[in-house]
């Protein structure tokens, strides 16, 4: 039995002109960590909303732990847990009470819920925060409390909607370790993220969605290998009088180059600042080193560094979803 099964799922919000989820189908195997990857507004949270019974689908089916979420919402909710994208702790309650109230709601007896709360607070490094009011927590602490709360009723399937957005590196690694530990305990994890590194490290398989549709679904390694140009050449150069665009176009025209991209991320810098151009190549990248340097020189650019690399999940993401802001 699949832990999660989504078939032809459509969600159109009232008054919306397009579908937030537009015919999505995928399954998640029991015990799998499944990454749902997509740009802002792709429909990830909406999909999680349907699977966790918070959002009513327009059409299609969604099953969790073998149960149809529309037909059996109460039974489904007992088998799943969700750590939402937005903090939704009971802000006036203490941390420990947030955990025990949640367990009581799910019918866990008093002694047992106290035991579980203490164990989970300990596990999440929150024992000294047990009595703190939820409103007084930092973002990272609140995130850990929400994970602890989610585990209080021992779910079979855990949905994590962007679990590490806004966390510092320590908290991020901690959350990653916890996700691996949950997998080892046999819990199925569905995780949404824009963090490619996180998706690659944690997910057994990744589904890339955009505009509510599934664009690709495979293991992270297979997705990277499927890219036209799985290898890359990175060139750091100070553009000549011809400018950066000319340089990129010339490099993109070389035989064996699938794409040439400016890797600059920050705001425009001084005119003589070096730019980093990343070439996705379909041939042996070493054979492109000399031609790339030559082409750059021909356009008056001064090459500072050339290096070989491998494509990443981010390259897959950009190849599939483009560069436009949403
Ligand atoms: N409650 C709502 N009412 C109306 N439209 C909504 C609602 N929630 C989401 N949408 C719209 O549905 C689309 C998908 O949103 P969703 O939150 O599912 O995306 P997402 O992939 O989770 O994005 P992000 O990465 O920014 O969290 C967006 O166009 C959004 O504006
Ligand atoms: Mg979202």
Chain segment 232-271, per-residue pLDDT in tens: 899 999 998 888 899 999 999 999 998 898 876 556 666 6
Give yes or no: residues 150 and 97 share one domain.
Answer: yes
Mutate to test the pocket of ligand 1, among 17, 42, 49, 325 (most ligand atoms within 8 A of CB): 42
Task: Give yes or no: residues 52 and 76 share one domain.
Answer: yes
In angstroms, the Cα distances linking 308 to 37, 155, 278, 288 are 26, 44, 10, 10
pLDDT at position 229, please?
A: 65
Residue 322 inside a domain? The answer is no
CA of residue 296 to ligand 2 center, whole Å: 41
Give the E-state strand segments of 162-301 in sequence order: 188-193, 205-210, 213-218, 231-238, 257-262, 275-281
Q: Is the dihedral of CA 216, 219, 221, 225 positive or negative?
A: negative
Task: Please tell me the predicted confidence (pLDDT) of residue 265.
Answer: 54
Number of domains in the chain: 2
Ligand 2 center–CA 295 separation, angstroms? 43
User: Does residue 324 form part of some domain?
Assistant: no
21 Cα to the center of ligand 1, angstroms: 9
Pick out the chain residues at pLDDT < 50: none
Q: Nearest bound ligand to CA 9?
A: 1
List the shell of residues around ion ligand 2, using CB closer than 5 Å: 44-45, 85
Ligand number nearest CA of 21 is 1
Answer yes or no: is 318 within a domain.
Answer: no
**Terminal C-alpha separation, the chain:** 36
Residue owning the nearest CA to atom 25 of ligand 1: 40
**Contact status, residue 229 vs residue 281, Cβ threshold 8 Å:** yes
**255 and 199 in one domain?**
no
Predicted pLDDT at 263: 79
**For residue 294, is it within any domain?**
yes
- Is position 319 within any domain? no
Find the CATH number of the domain harbouring 295.
3.30.70.1340
Residues 6+ apart with CB under 8 A from 176: 164, 198, 201, 202
Pocket of ligand 1 (CB under 6 A): 13, 16, 20, 38, 40-46, 85
- Going from the Cα of 144 to the center of ligand 1, the distance in angstroms, rounded, reads 24
Burial of 192 (0-12, 13-18, 19+ CB in 10 A): buried
Q: What is the 233 CA–ligand 1 centroid distance (Å)? A: 36
Nearest CA to ligand 1 atom 2: 13
On whether both 150 and 274 belong to a single domain, the answer is no
Contact 246, 298 (CB under 8 A): no
What local confidence, expressed as pLDDT, does residue 13 receive? 98
CATH number at residue 150: 3.40.50.300
- Give the pLDDT confidence score for residue 214 in this predicted structure: 96
Q: Of 225, 260, 287, which residue is a domain's last?
A: 225
Last residue of a domain, one of 197, 225, 253: 225
Query: CA angle, corner 70, sides to 65 and 71, nearest 5?
Result: 80
Name the residue with the closest Cα to ligand 1, atom 8: 46
Domain that holds residue 237: 228-310
Please check whether residues 214 and 72 belong to one and the same domain. yes
Instruction: Determine the pLDDT at residue 94.
Output: 96
Is 232 found in the same domain as 221? no
């Amino acid at each position: 039995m699949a832990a999660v099964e989504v078939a032809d799922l459509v969600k159109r919000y009232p008054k919306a002109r397009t579908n937030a989820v537009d015919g999505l189908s995928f399954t998640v195997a029991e015990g799998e960590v499944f990454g749902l990857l997509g740009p802002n507004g792709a429909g990830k949270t909406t999909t999680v909303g349907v699977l966790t019974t918070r959002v009513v689908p327009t059409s299609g089916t969604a099953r969790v732990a073998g149960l149809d979420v529309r037909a059996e919402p109460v039974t489904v909710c007992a088998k799943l847990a969700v750590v939402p994208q937005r903090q939704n702790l009971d802000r006036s309650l203490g941390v420990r009470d947030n955990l025990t109230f949640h367990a009581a709601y799910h019918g866990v007896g008093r002694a047992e819920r106290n035991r579980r709360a203490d164990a989970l607070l300990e596990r999440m490094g929150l024992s000294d925060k047990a009595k703190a009011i939820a409103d007084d927590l930092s973002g990272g602490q609140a995130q850990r409390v929400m994970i602890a709360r989610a585990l209080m009723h021992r779910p079979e399937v855990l949905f994590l909607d962007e679990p590490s957005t806004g966390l510092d590196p320590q908290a991020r690694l901690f959350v990653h370790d916890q996700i691996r530990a949950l997998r080892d305990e046999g819990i199925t994890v569905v995780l949404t993220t824009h963090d490619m590194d996180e998706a690659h490290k944690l997910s057994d398989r990744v589904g890339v969605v955009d505009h509510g549709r599934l664009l690709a679904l495979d293991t992270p390694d297979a997705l990277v290998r499927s890219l036209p140009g799985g290898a890359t050449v990175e060139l750091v150069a100070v553009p000549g009088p011809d400018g950066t665009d000319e340089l990129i176009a010339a490099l993109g025209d070389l035989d064996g180059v699938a794409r040439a991209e400016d890797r600059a991320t920050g705001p425009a810098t001084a005119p003589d600042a070096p730019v980093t151009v990343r070439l996705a190549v379909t041939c042996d990248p070493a054979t492109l080193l000399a031609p790339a340097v030559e082409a750059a020189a021909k356009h008056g650019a001064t090459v500072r560094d050339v290096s070989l690399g491998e494509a990443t999940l981010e390259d897959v993401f950009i190849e599939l979803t483009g560069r436009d802001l949403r």
